[in-house]
Structure 1
Amino acid sequence: MRDQEPAAAQEARRLTTRETAERLGVKPETVYAYVSRGQLTSRRGQGRRGSTFDASEVDALARRNKRESAPSSTGSDLSVRTSLTLIEQDRYFFRGVDATELVAHHSFEEVAEWLWTGALRPGARFSAPKEALSAARRAADALPEHSSTVDRLRVAAVAAATADPLRYDLSEDSVLGAARSLIPTLAATLPLRNATYADGDPIAQRLWGRLSHRHPDEVSLRVLDTALGLLVDHDLAASTLAVRVAASARAHAYAAVSAGLGVLEGPLHGAASGLAHRLLLDVLDRGSAGPVVADELRAGRPVPGLGHRLYKGEDPRAQALFTALEGLPAAEPALAAARDVVATTARHTDLHANVDLALAVLTTSFGMPAEAGETIFAVARTAGWIAHALEEYGERPLRMRPTGHYVGVRPPQPLP
């Protein structure tokens, strides 16, 4: 029996890190990513340097990876394994914990740390390195005057990367270090509308002064922090899928975030809250949702801020943000307008409020511009994008490569 073999013989059957990486077809650092996720078990080698791995366990993982990466013969949609966010029965969970409950008790930074590592860091704060922040501001300030905030964020992400000589190190510690510096760098790159805040302040406090001219109190800052936490991740949204494709090609974290920001600008994704913002302003100006909703439908447009393909009922993120806004005098008019929109459309359709409508209540209540919701979304979702990039770095490289189904004319054709 094997358990009766001498220890030296058993050790001889084990693989080194390099041998394990070769069998799996990955880089050595990816082997340790498998270990940190519990997919492989390592052991310090006897009489040798480095860790060793059980050959049968390695081979089983290789077979599993091969099955999961094989193209489907049924033509079904691409499926990506993730341990980050689960959405089911009109609720969503971060690593198994109800996301709205987590956000109610922890700051945005703490929620981000939980998503990244599965461990809480009470009182976590992020800091922007001077070199990265200086490079990001110079690049963003060179843009035309009327550039959008997402334009500035995209440029800032690229510029910050140039100031990080370790950006090509895809180990977990290095990527998390980049994340903890990139998020505050993005926030601090936006032009100030209010007082300046210190680098050690929470992200919500630093971001507020770039979104509103009004001075915040503790309650309003907590509402913004809640919005950031609720938006950290939401499974494989379009921008997140773009991030995972970039990470699959082993783009560094800054480049992966840049890919996500590019997709975010679509009117069906991050920019949707701006449409809801303008809708609420119109309702507040005209005193009723009826004529405003009628105008949208007459123009053949869906009413902004309503419905979500993943929820039959109300978006839980909207519920949580509405709850956080209730009782704030500044939010009462916008909350009433949002409820009027929902009630008006409920006469003919079963659509419920989504997080874009709740973001619009936040941004209109505190005098923020229409694009503020998209800015909040982008800064918050950067944390989720980093989490997904980390997961993808632990997978087989370039696995997210679908095969095109050619429908053009068949060759050979004459030269044009």
Structure 2
Amino acid sequence: MSERAASSSRAWITAAEAAAELNVSRATLYAYVSRGLVESRGQPGSRRRLYAATDIRRLRSHGDAGSGGTPDRALDFGAPLLDSAITLIDGGRLYYRGRDALALAESASLETVAGLLWQLDDSDPFADVVIEPEPPAAPGIAGAIARLAVAGRADVAAYARTTPALARTGARIVRHLVSVWSDGAVPDGPAHRVLATAWGVPAAAEAIRTALVLCADHELNASAFAVRVAASTRATPYAAVIAGLATLEGPRHGGMTPQTLALIHEALRLGDGRAAVTERLRRGEALPGFGHPLYPDGDPRATATLQAVRKATGPQPLLDVVDAVAAAGRAATGLGPNLDFGLATLAATWGLDADRAIGVFAIGRSVGWLAHAAEQLASGTLIRPRARYTGPEPRPAHGNRARP
């Protein structure tokens, strides 16, 4: 048996072997890993990683990955693959332009992370942004979309495409969103402080800051893809972020956060986290707030958010119930809490409603959306997938005539 054949029959293969099997570069291989298409694991005592041979063979069976072949289910999770230098998910960790997001979440503000994701120098695009106080037209995402639609139409500078101009437009957009979710307050400071003050929960400021930073980006998720599609048409950043907001609201994306908050409220009403989980499962309902395909060993964003909440409050009965929900959910599904669970816990701890819970998600994620919009604009490409037609066969021209 040749060395090549022997290596492909092993359960785990090296990066060089995996890249050769797929006929792709190592950078593309790492992109497959970050999208959850290929599992990798470290080697004890070494910085090298190994890659699951079964995943490599599955990718090859869906088409030649190195020649632009199209997988049979090209828009399902993990495809298509777009080049991006913004965020990497690898080995259960999240990195913003090479910086560990968990480390940033320990002290950085959302505005600081915006500077990193938007590739700015020491300039601060938020420094001279002034947003007039204006009550939102509607609560939550609906109000945010309405605000941006009006503000974007009036903002002539939003059509400028230089990096500094895009950053200033991005800062105005983020401030508009903070204003909407702070009930029309003037956002004249870091987002986490403005929100905590407006919501009357100053003790939650640091936990909100942590959550905002961890929400800032998560690679090519559904809302980021929607933003990039809009930006690829040269729509303004306002329009691109509106596309992201509309997508985030869906119950299989950011809309999962309110569902998870409802589960926690149910557990608090019963006073028993295990009972709440058991009742959900007995009714045949899904258990929101658990699991993420990119984090098979647990979502580190949830862990960090829960730690920030506990640090701000100390031990309390509410968190004991939340811990029971987490333990029961893990025991039942084998999955750990995800970001939605962390955001829902933050909201429940300080009595914030579902609109404010998803608001933290939306405000934080807007920073990443704006980075994706700028990157897509810079690429100059239009995102336009083809459709695989599955309808009836075309008829001859005479077959389309109406019968007398």
TM-score, scaled relative to structure 1? 0.74
State whether structure 2 residue 69 is matched by structure 1 residue 72. yes
Q: How far is 1:300 from its partner?
A: 2.1
Q: How far is 1:331 from its partner?
A: 7.0
State whether structure 2 residue 370 is matched by structure 1 residue 386. yes
Q: Alignment RMSD, CA only?
A: 2.5
From 271, 282, 301, the counterpart of 1:298? 282
- Change in CA separation of 1:273 and 1:126 when aligned onto 2, cut-off 3 Å: farther
From 110, 113, 129, the counterpart of 1:111? 113
State whether structure 2 residue 148 is matched by structure 1 residue 157. yes
In structure 1, what is the equivalent of residue 177 of structure 2? Answer: 186
For 1:232 and 1:207, how far apart are their aligned partners in 2? 16
For 1:69 and 1:379, how far apart are their aligned partners in 2? 37
State whether structure 2 residue 269 is matched by structure 1 residue 285. yes
Q: Secondary structure at the match of 2:333?
A: coil
For 1:389 and 1:153, how far apart are their aligned partners in 2? 18
- Change in CA separation of 1:162 and 1:243 when aligned onto 2, cut-off 3 Å: same
What aligned pairs does 1:235-314 form with structure 2 within 5 A after superposition?
235-314=219-298
Q: How far is 1:85 from its partner?
A: 0.6
Q: Deviation string for 1:70-93 (max 9, x for gaps)?
A: 853555531100111100111110
From 344, 348, 352, the counterpart of 2:332? 348
In structure 2, what is the equivalent of residue 321 of structure 1? Answer: 305
CA contact (8 A) 2:181 2:359 kept: no
For 1:95 and 1:309, how far apart are their aligned partners in 2? 22
- Change in CA separation of 1:69 and 1:178 when aligned onto 2, cut-off 3 Å: farther
For 1:109 and 1:305, how far apart are their aligned partners in 2? 27
From 65, 81, 84, the counterpart of 1:82? 84
Letter in 1 for 2:377: Y
CA contact (8 A) 2:322 2:345 kept: yes
For 2:316 and 2:125, how far apart are their aligned partners in 1? 32
Residues matched between the structures, number:
330
- Change in CA separation of 1:118 and 1:69 when aligned onto 2, cut-off 3 Å: farther
CA contact (8 A) 1:247 1:392 kept: yes
For 2:229 and 2:334, how far apart are their aligned partners in 1? 35
For 1:188 and 1:331, how far apart are their aligned partners in 2? 32
From 387, 400, 404, the counterpart of 1:414? 400
Q: How far is 1:308 from its partner?
A: 0.8
In structure 2, what is the equivalent of residue 202 of structure 1? Answer: 190
What aligned pairs does 1:325-340 form with structure 2 within 5 A after superposition?
325-329=309-313, 332-340=316-324
What aligned pairs does 1:30-49 form with structure 2 within 5 A after superposition?
none
Q: Percent identity of the aligned residues?
A: 31
For 1:378 and 1:126, how far apart are their aligned partners in 2? 22
State whether structure 2 residue 218 is matched by structure 1 residue 234. yes
Q: How far is 1:322 from its partner?
A: 1.3
Q: Secondary structure at the match of 1:207?
A: helix
For 1:103 and 1:229, how far apart are their aligned partners in 2? 6
Q: Secondary structure at the match of 2:89?
A: strand
Q: How far is 1:298 from its partner?
A: 2.4
Letter in 2 for 1:192: D
CA contact (8 A) 1:274 1:370 kept: yes
Letter in 2 for 1:391: E
For 2:66 and 2:401, how far apart are their aligned partners in 1? 38
In structure 2, what is the equivalent of residue 44 of structure 1? Answer: none
Letter in 2 for 1:343: A
Q: Deviation string for 1:338-365 (max 9, x for gaps)?
A: 2101211333321101111111111111
Structure 2: gaps spanning 5 or more residues:
1-64
CA contact (8 A) 1:305 1:355 kept: yes
- Change in CA separation of 1:169 and 1:250 when aligned onto 2, cut-off 3 Å: same
Structure 1: gaps spanning 5 or more residues:
1-67, 142-146
Q: Deviation string for 1:112-168 (max 9, x for gaps)?
A: 1111106566x87455434xx46xx37x43xxxxx4410000111111112211222
Letter in 1 for 2:115: E
CA contact (8 A) 1:305 1:353 kept: yes
For 2:70 and 2:278, how far apart are their aligned partners in 1? 46
Letter in 1 for 2:388: H
CA contact (8 A) 1:274 1:372 kept: no
